[in-house]
């Protein structure tokens, strides 16, 4: 008994839309059995029964059907005892393979691919009707048939196994695993580009006549240039300058996708350039579902510095220099995520239209971008590959951070914060807004014992006390002195030296699983300034409170969880052109941003 196991797989390109190929492959069995009864040292030929295969597709160009060995070893049939039957070395007709004088092919096997003829079809013209045996198929596959048209009824194929064996052949079960593959043939298409003006236009894409596997062809990423105008995309009809491509016409962007109809004989697309007056400024607009846009500019050494920042309004950069580089971070509103950037023109290069943080290199004129939000949340999480854990975080969730950004909810007050991964750490991109008098438990906060946050002093009542915790909120910003930020209990009121403070001894006011960054590791190795390479956190400034607000919009300061001395603690600061670490009076009100990914 000789057994070949046939594992059947179907490769296809989608099964949903009407423009997509649908492929159907049916196989009568997944096992072929071959009875070998060698009775002569000259060898005896035997053939298995036929394995029936049916194939159909609605793809206009038809399909390709292949048989492939699953592994290189499958080209030689083997049993569990190491006995084997080798494949024949070349294609050979049945008469030679099975003839009495074919001793050359003793202890070898081959497969028979054929297609049954339809009723009444002349056997001499029936495709692939020649009876040949072939060596075992390669791992890349041997073609059984290539059709050129759609077929609504099954094309019927057979595969059989033939072998010659002598009396020296070991009685055993020999096996090999093979895959039947069916794929739609490439779809032809053509794209014609029209400059849509009598003016001179440079960098026009070349017309294309080609084919592609699947249902997507790519629009050229060339950006045409026309003096006095800006290219704003392609439209399927000719439109006047400074007008929009309206429905039911289709608008395409440079480098966009053209969806093909795989069931149609032709796919042809004519595209007309759209032209508009060039904007003079570079504008990043806050669209629906977006809370914040942060824009920072690279300096001459390609380090990013926060020259521009906003919380809720549009960012407008007057007449940007060609080649200037900007880093843009989008913070969606609660329960939203970034849908895409909608751009008015194509003067410069946008790194990505879907990532929360991307880059833009300015062209020869300004552009306008609008960040559009969509209801939803980011679910893809990125392992930070750390062995450390965070206090009160038994599931070690501190090791994970959203790949592109996410809104996380502080379960204590249901306020939402957008977070992002910088370096090997996960940071909040906005300041903590935990209200005064909140009771912090060990289950929901990074504290080792229950702690009550001090009452909000508001616009008055702030005391310059180094040891007693104080906090205040002004203009929807929240400030904490170092004892409050680190969940310290009340020490002696009025003193300027608190000797009983030790790093992370009681935790801090961050949510469970989060913490204040430490001076020794987090601020030095993973600060979000990082010499300007990762400015996302610092681009929106924290504020400075010591009895009143100072340096609003010019200087941001954030507490670390590490003290410098009995009366000073470390902080991180940005003045809009750089960042530094410092030791600040513990009585000062700074902002708090939490991180996870270290301890």
Q: What is the pLDDT of residues 87-106, one digit of tens each?
A: 998 888 888 888 878 888 99
Contact by Cβ (8 Å): 467, 489: no
| Domain contains 443 | yes
- 180 and 145 in contact (C-beta within 8 Å)? no
The answer to whether residues 450 and 511 belong to one domain is yes
Overall domain count for the chain:
4
The residues of the chain scoring below 50 in pLDDT are 1, 8-18, 119, 123, 306-307, 381-398, 493-494, 503, 524-540, 547, 598-599
Is residue 332 within 8 Å of 418, Cβ to Cβ? yes
Residues 465, 400: one domain? Answer: yes
CA end-to-end span of the chain, whole Å?
65
Q: Give pLDDT, residue 331.
A: 75
- 31 CB burial (10 A radius; 0-12, 13-18, 19+): exposed
CA dist 359 and 353 (Å) reads: 10
- Tell me the residue range of the domain where 101 lies: 2-184
Inter-CA distances, 182 with 12, 66, 67, 149, Å:
7, 6, 9, 14
Question: Which run of H or of E encompasses 452?
Answer: strand 451-452
Q: Do residue 393 and residue 270 come from a single domain?
A: no
- The answer on 544 and 447 residing in a single domain is yes
**pLDDT value, residue 113:** 85
Evaluate whether residue 125 is within a structural domain. Answer: yes
Task: Note whether residue 87 is domain-resident.
Answer: yes
128: left (phi over 0), alpha (psi -120 to 50) or beta: left
Q: Of the candidates 276, 297, 316, which is a domain's last residue?
A: 276
Region of 362 please: left (phi>0), alpha (psi -120 to 50) or beta: beta
The per-residue pLDDT for range 185-228, each reduced to its tens digit, is: 999 999 999 999 999 999 999 999 999 988 999 999 999 999 99
Query: What token pair was written down for 288?
Result: 């629906």
In the block, residue with structure tokens 């704003």? 232
Q: What is the CA radius of gyration of the chain?
A: 35
DSSP conformational letter for 495:
-
Contact 325, 288 (CB under 8 A): no
Would residue 90 count as lying in a domain?
yes
> 397 Cβ partners below 8 Å, 6+ apart?
390, 513, 596
Residues 538 and 46: their CA atoms lie apart, in Å, by 78
User: Does residue 170 sit in the same domain as residue 238?
Assistant: no
Contact 117/123 with Cβ under 8 angstroms?
Answer: yes
What does the block give as tokens for 86? 């080798």
Shared-domain flag, residues 82 and 155: yes
Is 381 inside any structural domain?
no
Backbone angles phi, psi at 482, to 5 degrees: -65, -40
**219 and 132, same structural domain?**
no
Please identify, among 276, 297, 326, the residue that sits at the C-terminal boundary of a domain: 276
511 and 441 share one domain = yes
Query: Could you tell me the maximum CA-CA distance found in the chain, to the nearest angstrom?
Result: 111
CA-wise closest residue to 25 among 60, 51, 61: 51
Q: Are residues 26 and 155 located together in one domain of the fold?
A: yes
339 and 370 in contact (C-beta within 8 Å)? no
- 292 with 307, same domain: the answer is yes
**Can you say how many angstroms the Cα of residue 444 is from the centroid of all Cα atoms in its chain?**
32
Please answer whether residues 161 and 176 qualify as being in contact, where contact means their C-beta atoms are separated by less than 8 angstroms.
Answer: no
Q: Are 139 and 10 contacting, i.e. CB atoms less than 8 angstroms apart?
A: no
Q: Are residues 115 and 151 in the same domain?
A: yes
* The domain boundary residue, chosen from 184, 201, 221: 184
Predicted TM-score of the model (pTM): 0.61
> How are beta strands 251-252 and 230-235 bridged, if at all?
antiparallel
DSSP state of 532: G
Any domain includes 380: no
The verdict on 14 and 156 lying in the same domain is yes
Supply the pLDDT for residue 517: 82
Edge-first strand listing for the sheet containing 415-422: 406-410, 415-422, 425-428, 595-596
Name residues whose C-beta falls within 8 Å of residue 589's C-beta, 6 or more positions apart in sequence: 462, 470, 471, 472, 479, 480, 481, 544, 545, 546
Taking the C-alpha atoms of residue 3 and residue 441, their distance in angstroms, rounded to an integer, is 67
């Amino acid at each position: 008994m000789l057994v070949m196991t046939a594992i059947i797989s179907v490769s296809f390109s989608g099964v949903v839309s009407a423009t997509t190929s649908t492929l159907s492959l049916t196989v009568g069995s997944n096992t072929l059995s071959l009875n070998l009864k060698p009775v002569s040292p000259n060898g005896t030929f035997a053939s298995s029964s036929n394995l029936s295969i049916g194939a159909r597709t609605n793809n206009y160009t038809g399909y390709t059907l292949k048989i492939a060995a699953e592994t290189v070893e499958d080209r030689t049939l083997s049993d569990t005892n190491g006995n084997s039957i080798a494949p024949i070395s070349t294609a050979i007709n049945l008469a030679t393979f099975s003839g009495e004088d074919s001793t050359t092919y003793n202890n070898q096997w081959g497969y028979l691919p054929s297609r049954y003829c339809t009723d009444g079809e002349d056997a001499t013209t029936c495709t692939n009707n020649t009876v040949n045996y072939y060596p075992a198929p390669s791992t890349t596959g041997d073609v059984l048939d290539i059709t050129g048209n759609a077929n609504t009824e099954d094309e019927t194929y057979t595969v059989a196994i033939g072998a010659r064996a002598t009396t020296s052949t070991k009685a055993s079960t020999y096996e090999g695993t093979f895959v039947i593959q069916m794929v739609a043939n490439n779809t032809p298409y053509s794209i014609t580009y029209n400059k849509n003006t009598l003016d001179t236009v440079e960098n026009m894409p070349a017309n294309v006549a080609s084919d592609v596997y699947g249902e997507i062809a790519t629009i050229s990423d060339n950006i045409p240039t026309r003096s006095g105008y800006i290219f704003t995309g392609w439209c399927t009809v000719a439109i006047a300058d400074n007008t929009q491509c309206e429905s039911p016409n289709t608008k395409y962007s440079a480098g966009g996708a053209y969806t093909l109809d795989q069931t149609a004989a032709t796919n042809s697309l004519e595209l007309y350039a759209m032209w508009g007056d060039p904007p003079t400024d570079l504008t990043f607009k806050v669209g629906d579902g977006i809370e914040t846009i942060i824009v920072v500019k690279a300096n001459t050494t390609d380090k990013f510095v926060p020259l521009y920042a906003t919380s809720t309004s549009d960012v407008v950069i007057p007449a940007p220099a060609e080649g200037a580089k900007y880093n843009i971070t989008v913070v969606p509103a609660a329960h939203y995520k970034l849908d895409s950037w909608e751009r008015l023109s194509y003067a410069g290069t946008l790194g990505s239209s879907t990532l929360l943080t991307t880059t833009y290199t300015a062209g020869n004129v300004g552009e306008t971008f609008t960040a559009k939000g969509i209801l939803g949340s980011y679910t893809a999480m990125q392992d930070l590959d750390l062995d450390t854990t965070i206090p009160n975080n038994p599931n070690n969730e501190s090791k994970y951070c959203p790949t592109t950004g996410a809104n996380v909810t502080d379960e204590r007050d249901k306020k939402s914060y957008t977070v992002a991964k910088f370096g090997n750490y996960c940071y909040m991109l906005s300041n903590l807004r935990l209200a005064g008098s909140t009771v912090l438990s060990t289950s929901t906060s990074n504290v080792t014992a229950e702690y009550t946050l001090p009452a909000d002093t508001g616009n008055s009542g702030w005391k310059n006390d180094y040891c007693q915790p104080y906090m205040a909120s002004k203009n929807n910003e929240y400030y904490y002195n170092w004892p409050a930020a680190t969940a310290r209990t009340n020490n002696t009121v009025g003193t300027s030296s608190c000797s009983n403070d030790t790093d992370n001894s009681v935790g801090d006011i961050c949510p469970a699983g989060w913490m204040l960054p430490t001076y020794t590791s987090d601020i030095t190795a993973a600060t979000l300034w990082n010499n300007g390479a990762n400015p996302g956190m610092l681009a929106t400034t924290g504020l400075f409170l010591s009895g009143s607000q100072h340096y609003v919009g010019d200087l941001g300061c954030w507490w670390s969880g590490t003290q410098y001395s009995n009366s000073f603690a470390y902080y991180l600061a940005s003045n809009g052109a750089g960042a530094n670490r410092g030791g600040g009076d513990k009585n000062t009100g700074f902002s708090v941003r939490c991180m996870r990914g270290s301890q």
